[in-house]
Structure 1
Amino acid sequence: MYQINSTEPRSPYELSGIRILVVEDNPINTFALGAYLKRWGCVFDVASNGLEALQKLDSSFDLVLMDIHMPEMDGLEATRLLRLRGEILPIIALTADCTLDVQLDLYEGGFSAVQYKPIQPKNLLDLILHLRSHHPIGTLGIPDEIRPEQPAARLYLGGGATPAQARF
C-alpha cells in the first residue's frame, strides 16, 4: 500500500496549464471538480460518460479524472478500452466504493490511482502533483510500484488512512 503523507507545502501553480479531462455524470461533482481545477490553473474539459470520454480523448490531455458509475458506458469499461487502444496517460478513478473487489477491478482495468469520494481538494491536489513529479504528465502508464505478479498491490493516493485503516 502506497500513500502520500507529505508535509512539504505544495503549490497549486505547479499545475498551471495541465490539460485534464473530467469524466463525471453528476453536475454537482463536475462543478466542484471544475472549481478546484480552475483554482489550480488547470485547463479542463468535461465528459458525462465513458463514450464521450473516448471521443474527447482524441484530443490532447495530460490526465483523466474518471468517475466509475456512469450511464451509457462506465469508467471501468472506458478505461479498459483506452488502455487497449494504447493510451498511457494517467487515469485517476473517482469512486465512493472502497471495497477490495472494486479496488482490484480498478487496478486490473488500468487505472493509475484511486481518489475516494467525497473528494477532498488537498488530497486530489497532492495526488495530481505526485503523479506529475514521479512520471512526466503524458507519459505515465501503470505505476511501476504495481506489478502484475502482485495483483493485490494497489497505489492508494487518496491521502490519509485508507478507508479500511480509518476504521481501526
Structure 2
Amino acid sequence: MKSAKRILIVDDEDANREILSSFLGNQGYQLELAGDGFEALAKLKLGIDLIYLDLMMPGMDGFEVARRVREDPDSCDIPIIMVTSMASKENRLRSVEAGVNDFISKPIDMIELQVRTKSLLKMKEAQDALKKHKSELEEQVQERTSALRQSLEAMASAQRKTQSAYLDTIRRLALAAEFKDEDTSSHIQRISGYCVLLAETLHLPPGEVETLRHASPMHDVGKIGIPDRILLKPDKLTAPEWEIMMQHAAIGARILGGSSSELLRTGEIIALSHHEKWDGSGYPKGLKREEIPLEGRICAVADVFDALTSRRPYKEAFSNEEALEILKEGSGRHFESRLVDLFVKNFDEVLAIQKKYREG
C-alpha cells in the first residue's frame, strides 16, 4: 500500500495554516507545518512531495524560499504552489522566475485546492518514477559498459599477437548484442555481406570496404544497454519503451567511442547513424541527406532488408519481394535513392548472400 503523500504548508499566519491543514488532512495527506521560510527549508529533509507557500512572510518571503528550494539538488523537483492575496502580474512573473509551479489566490477555493493538489502530486510521482528509472538505466549501462570496455582492452592486447584474433573478438562483440534479442551469427554475416556488396558497387577503396565488412556487424552493439524486458518484448513497444529502445544507437557509440582503432571508429559511426533517415526523420540526431555518414546510410539499407526478411517473436518474415518493395517505397525518404537502386540492380547477389548465411 502506498504511503500518504507529504505536504509542507508554509505560512506565518496560524489561521491560514489551520485552514489548509484541516482540509488537506481530511484528504488523507501527511502534513508538515512551517511558520517561516527558515523552518520550511529545514523540513525539506523529511521527504516532501508538495509545498504550499505563502508569498508575504517576515524574514524570508516566498520568492526567496522558492529559489532556495530550486537551488538544492535534493529538493529541486518538489512542486510549489504559491498562496497569495497579491496575485498581480508582477508577482506571478517573479514567482515563475523563482521556480513556482502554480498559484492559488486567497480566499482559497477548496475545490480548486483539491484539483491542483492532485494534479501536481501526480506530476511529482511521474517525475520520481522517471528519475528512478533513469538512474537504474544509467547504472545498468555503466556496469555493462565497464565490463565491455574491459573486454575491448583484452582485445587490444590480442591484436598485438595476430590480426585474426582481433577480428574474431570483434565478431564476438557484435554477437553479444545480437544474442540478446534472439538474432544469430547468420544475421550479422548477412548484414556484413550486404554492406560489402553496396560498398563495392560504389567503388569505394578496398581498405574502406574491408573496414566496413568488419565494422558493420557492430551496428547494434548498444542493445547490450537496453533492458531485456524491452528488448525481448513480444508485443509492440509503448511510447516510453520506444524512447528507451532508441537509446541503443547512442549507447553503442559510447561503447565503441574513444578508440584509436579505425575499425572501432567506423563501428562507432555506424552504431550512431544507422537509424538516421534520408529525409531527417530518423534518430538519434535527426540527420538528413549527406549529413548522415555514408557508412550509416549503407548499413541502414542492409539492416532494414534483413530485419524485414527475418522472423521475430512479434512478426513473421516478409518475402524477399515484399521487402524489396518496402525498400523502394522508402527510397528518397528513409534511404538514399542511389543505394536502393544499387541494391535492386544487384539483387541476385543479395539473394546469394542471404542463401549463404541462411538461419540454421
TM-score relative to the length of structure 2: 0.33
Equivalent residue number for residue 131 of structure 1: 120
2:100 is matched by which residue type in structure 1?
F
Provide the C-alpha distance between the structure 2 equivalents of 1:124 and 1:135, rounded to a whole number of angstroms.
16
CA contact (8 A) 1:21 1:45 kept: yes
Equivalent residue number for residue 98 of structure 2: 109
1:65 aligned counterpart, secondary structure = strand
Equivalent residue number for residue 93 of structure 1: 82
Provide the C-alpha distance between the structure 1 equivalents of 2:43 and 2:65, rounded to a whole number of angstroms.
12
Q: Which has the larger radius of gyration?
A: 2
Provide the C-alpha distance between the structure 1 equivalents of 2:89 and 2:115, rounded to a whole number of angstroms.
23
Q: 1:67 to 1:139 in 2, by over 3 A?
A: farther
CA contact (8 A) 1:54 1:78 kept: yes
Identity level (%): 32
Q: 1:47 to 1:137 in 2, by over 3 A?
A: farther
Provide the C-alpha distance between the structure 1 equivalents of 2:123 and 2:44, rounded to a whole number of angstroms.
23
1:66 aligned counterpart, secondary structure = strand
Equivalent residue number for residue 75 of structure 1: 62
Larger displacement relative to structure 2 (82-91 or 41-50): 82-91
Q: 1:119 to 1:138 in 2, by over 3 A?
A: farther
Tell me if 1:29 matches 2:48: no
Deviations 1:45-97 (A, max 9, x none): 10011111111112211111000111111111011011111221101100111
Q: 1:138 to 1:18 in 2, by over 3 A?
A: farther
Q: How many residue pairs are counted as aligned between the two chains?
A: 126
Provide the C-alpha distance between the structure 2 equivalents of 1:73 and 1:138, rounded to a whole number of angstroms.
28
Equivalent residue number for residue 55 of structure 1: 42
Provide the C-alpha distance between the structure 1 equivalents of 2:127 and 2:35, rounded to a whole number of angstroms.
22
Higher relative contact order (CA 8 A, sep 6+): 1
Provide the C-alpha distance between the structure 2 equivalents of 1:56 and 1:33, rounded to a whole number of angstroms.
17
Equivalent residue number for residue 315 of structure 2: none
CA contact (8 A) 1:89 1:137 kept: no
Q: 1:76 to 1:133 in 2, by over 3 A?
A: same
CA contact (8 A) 1:34 1:44 kept: yes
Equivalent residue number for residue 43 of structure 1: 30
Q: 1:122 to 1:16 in 2, by over 3 A?
A: farther
Deviations 1:12-52 (A, max 9, x none): xxx97110000011111111111101110011010011111
CA contact (8 A) 1:68 1:93 kept: yes
2:114 is matched by which residue type in structure 1?
L
Q: 1:134 to 1:55 in 2, by over 3 A?
A: closer
1:129 is matched by which residue type in structure 2?
K
Deviations 1:119-147 (A, max 9, x none): 1111100001122334426749xxxxxxx
The answer for unaligned runs of 5 or more in structure 1 is 1-14, 141-168
1:57 aligned counterpart, secondary structure = helix
RMSD of Structure 2 on Structure 1 (CA): 2.0
**Which structure shows the higher helix fraction?**
2
